[in-house]
């Protein structure tokens, strides 16, 4: 047990999928895994371990934003030996070429700051996905026929942004979408020699104002989970 995860040693798989929403962790585990066991419910941040095609997998909620994700990822890596960590989440589209329901595979994650800013200080570290995972996710998405984009995303610190000029610069520089967790996930994975990737469904669009209706969120979310699972074991 750690401060934020109630699982016993051995309860957590080396491969962990990380949705922000703990109820999505529950839905994904019950939908895609076999022999599912609840391994964490501290603070309601549900985590489940089961098997997918015979491989042991944990699906653990990370909460919203990099400070929350950092707590779970630190403990998953340092205390439970997680080695492959894949964020499965939603993002806001930032380019005309990206549509609601599309999947974005985040090759890099720009940010204004992350919880690791205290370490990097004046350095502009470039958080990037693990190449083997990214390559396998591209293959999995192509096999599924999901419209997929690979490129840079923006990990913001705020959902209700009072600085639209920052988004404008991101759009101008080709950033595909905005979410709130991937940059710190990539940094922690790099620090601890783990593999990480963010597989994101476009749930809303900053340029068009379109948003995925709630009844369609589950199906789109399912595509992303399958891409993540295939990438992890591909």
Judged by DSSP in three states, 203 sits in strand
18, two tokens: 């990380």
> Minimal distance in Å, beta carbon 179 to ligand HPA?
5
Q: Residue 18, interface with ligand HPA (CB under 6 A)?
A: no
Q: Given 161, 204, 215, 223, which residue is catalytic?
A: 204
**157 noted as active-site residue:** no
| Window 173-212: contact mask with ligand HPA (x via CB under 6 A) | -----xxx----------------------xx-x------
User: Is residue 155 involved in binding ligand HPA (CB under 6 A)?
Assistant: no
Dist CA 16 CA 170 (whole Å): 29
Residue 10: how many CB atoms within 10 A of its CB?
A: 10
Quick one: which of 37, 159, 207, 219 contacts ligand HPA (CB under 6 A)?
159
By CB under 6 A, tell whether 92 contacts ligand HPA.
yes
Both tokens of 2, joined, read 């750690």
DSSP-assigned letter for residue 35: E
- Number of residues lying near ligand HPA (CB under 6 A): 11
Residue 40 found at the interface with ligand HPA (CB under 6 A): no
Q: What single string gives the DSSP state of each residue in 109-176?
A: EEES--TTHHHHTT-----B--HHHHHHHHHHHHHHT--EEEEEEEE-S-SS-S-HHHHHHHHHTT--
Tell the smallest beta-carbon distance from residue 44 to ligand HPA (Å).
Answer: 20
Q: Where on the chain is the footprint of ligand HPA (CB under 6 A)?
A: 90-92, 156, 159, 178-180, 203-204, 206
Annotated catalytic residues are 204
């Amino acid at each position: 047990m750690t401060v934020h995860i109630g699982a016993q040693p051995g309860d957590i798989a080396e491969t962990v999928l990380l949705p922000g929403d703990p109820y999505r962790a529950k839905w994904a585990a019950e939908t895609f895994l076999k022999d599912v066991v609840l391994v964490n419910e501290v603070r309601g941040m549900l985590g489940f371990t089961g098997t997918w095609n015979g491989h042991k997998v944990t699906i653990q909620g990370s909460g919203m934003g990099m400070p929350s994700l950092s707590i779970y990822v630190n403990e998953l890596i340092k205390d439970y030996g997680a080695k492959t960590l894949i964020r499965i989440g939603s993002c806001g589209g930032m380019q005309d070429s990206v549509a609601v329901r599309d999947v974005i595979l985040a090759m890099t994650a720009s940010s204004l700051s992350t919880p690791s800013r205290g370490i990097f200080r004046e350095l502009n570290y470039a958080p990037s996905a693990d190449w083997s995972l990214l390559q396998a996710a591209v293959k999995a998405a192509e096999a599924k026929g999901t419209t997929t984009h690979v490129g840079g995303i923006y990990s913001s610190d705020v959902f209700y942004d009072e600085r639209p000029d920052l988004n404008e610069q991101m759009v101008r520089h080709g950033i595909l979408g905005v979410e709130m967790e991937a940059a710190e996930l990539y940094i922690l994975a790099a620090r601890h020699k783990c593999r990480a990737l963010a597989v994101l469904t476009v749930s809303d669009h900053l340029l068009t104002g379109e948003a995925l209706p709630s009844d369609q969120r589950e199906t789109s979310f399912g595509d992303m989970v399958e891409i993540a699972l295939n990438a992890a074991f591909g």
